[in-house]
Structure 1
């Protein structure tokens, strides 16, 4: 028999209405923080602490609270958290491209470190356009970002001025140099390419080609090219203008560059220094098609030490950089700044030369192709 709307609910119905998964709270139909606290068996203050200061809560309590929140389909309101604590719990990073896994690795390292402190990392991509980088930084500042990481120093002064004006701690990543006005977390691009060049000179090479990414608006590539030239100058050497190539960070660019060099008149270089592993792999593939012996006729170097670099035949001589470690160090640097700790001016991560089969002794003039 159907009951009257005014009659009391049966006991079974009442029990159902009071189950932990019920979302009818405070006449809003939404789960609230107190529901999560009740289900987890903790205070509302503890629930708040799990999301605002997770390092101050035991792993067991965090797990109970997070499980309760998941059960009730509840998550903390970002705007409410920001108003209550004067913090947004958001950090940002601007990278130049989404097409290069070295930046993805850095973002992954940062994200893990920030997540452990309950901070969300927001990603922006400038596509190597300084104007776009400024737009992205301003948008993040407008949303209350608390800390920023920016790949490279080659950005307009107004970008860094905006960060200082808003008193947002920031770090420049994937680059490190003495005398920088910024806190840098990365490696010395200039020194890395001096080492690569000296390795080849030590093998007897005196004629070089360079295939690298565009130098415009890219302080990392500028430093690398300067490192090559600096090392060569110390030995009275230089790269011929017709052997300097700038282009995309792709296998295709590497292939086209080597074909252009080998089809041109005049003496061929005995070593090619590439701006990254993708370009170098393109050179190796084209050398195979052209019948050029590596390293018998031509030595090739890359940069980044991608997983495929040591699987190639011949395996690629390259530079290894722990980009995930750069991300972790950058995040910790910014977290320390947010905590009011005295921070270092930067952190240097050493690039390590990986000598493999793609480089060898300079061929004698008799054995070289004309």
Structure 2
């Protein structure tokens, strides 16, 4: 009797003329390979009956969590990579495999589901980041347990795990006020994401509760030019020059915005924090490497992921009650915030 050779990742790699590492990333739903390569690997794995991808292995196939990630997140990997890998770790701790699906703008417009859905049965969906509302409605119609991480859709009744952005921005702004600042601006595109809008509201709440008049001329909250949204220092430089008066401190809607603002202020010959203090939000890795190191609010990415996975797996298929859960961020004091001049 002839023994059948067990198919290995090396066999798949050689057939597709790609590296063994690329095969491993594709099979495990990890970032680092294109969607077309991922589809080719999974298709060949099924055809060759690679372990875990046989058509009759339903026990394996039903223990997968599909993580939807919009394509634009590739430009914000500082923040979202931590969330994805934390979801992956917590999924594995429950005996589940997480599979990443990158969703392009065209897929959202065409209401197209990721091809991997035809190859694996899925126990639940996790949406990371911001998607078009119509696309989220389409996902919800698939009758698969779904939860959104780091963003909620005010017009949709669905489960979501988010950061307590308003409360966090309130705490952050109060810290700025405690340092003697009363001329405080805000930078961030408030009409694009619920997170930045809530941080804008928290900033205003802190000023109002401290009996400080809000001067909107200190703030840059527009979504156009596009560079403001994309954290472009050159666009921020132009916007700063248009302000009639600069504040003594800026609260930023995110660390990337704060870092871009830091560069723009330096270009204007303004020193941070000696002339103007800056605080951010998120605590991305880069915030502790810039000069000065950024004072910020630390978003609990691991906690967001842990709560999301636990809630998704513990929710029954017939449970119609949806929840919005908030995780409080933590104030991280570094170097970019000092006392106002004269104190």
Mapped pair 1:92 → 2:80: no
Q: 1:353 to 1:104 in 2, by over 3 A?
A: same
Q: Distance in 1 between matches of 2:264 and 2:147?
A: 39
Q: How does 1:269-280 map to 2 (within 5 A)?
A: 269-280=247-258
CA distance in 2, matches of 1:358, 1:326: 27
Aligned mates of 1:173, 1:225 — CA distance in 2: 20
Q: Does 1:219 align with 2:194?
A: yes
**8 Å contact from structure 2 (residues 279, 295) kept in 1:** yes
2:170 counterpart (194, 200, 209)? 194
SS in 2 for 1:294: coil
Alignment pair present for 1:183 and 2:159: yes
Following superposition, the deviation at residue 105 of structure 1 comes to: 0.9
- Return 148-157 or 203-212, whichever deviates more: 148-157
2:133 is matched with 156
Q: State the superposition RMSD in angstroms.
A: 3.9
Tell me the TM-score normalised to structure 1 length.
Answer: 0.65
Distance (Å, rounded) in 2 between the aligned partners of 1:159 and 1:176: 11
Say if 2:205 is the partner of 1:203.
no
Q: How many angstroms apart in 2 are the aligned matches of 1:231 and 1:130?
A: 41
Q: Which structure has the larger Rg over C-alpha atoms?
A: 1
Name the structure 2 match of 1:121. Answer: 98
> Given the superposition, is the C-alpha separation of residues 233 and 275 from structure 1 closer, same or farther in structure 2, using an over 3 Å criterion?
same
Cα deviation code 1:167-186 (max 9, x no counterpart): 32121211479999432223
Question: Do the aligned partners of 2:145 and 2:317 also contact (CA within 8 Å) in 1?
Answer: no
Deviation at 1:90, TM superposition (A): 2.6
Residue 75 (structure 1) shift: 0.6
What are the superposed Cα offsets for residues 146-178 of structure 1, whole Å, 9 maximum, x if unpaired?
A: 201123677526734652x44321212114799
| Structure 2, unaligned runs of 5 or more | 8-48
TM-score, normalisation: structure 2: 0.70
Contact in 1 for aligned 2:124/2:144 (Cα 8 Å): yes
- Match status 1:257 vs 2:213: no
Q: 3-state DSSP class of the match of 1:315? A: coil
Indicate yes or no: 2:266 matched with 1:292: no
Residue segments in structure 1 that go unaligned for 5+ positions in a row: 1-13, 25-29, 32-72
Q: Deviation at 1:342?
A: 11
> 1:232 aligned to 2:207?
yes
1:152–1:220 contact (8 Å) kept in structure 2: no
Report whether the alignment pairs 1:359 with 2:334.
no
Work out the CA distance in 2 between the residues paired with 1:281 and 1:265: 19
User: What displacement does 1:253 show?
Assistant: 1.5
**In the alignment, is the contact (CA less than 8 A) between 1:252 and 1:282 conserved in 2?**
yes
Q: Please list, as runs of the form range in 1=range in 2, the aligned pairs for 1:46-125 lying within 5 A after superposition.
A: 74-82=50-58, 85=59, 88-96=62-70, 97-100=73-76, 101-125=78-102
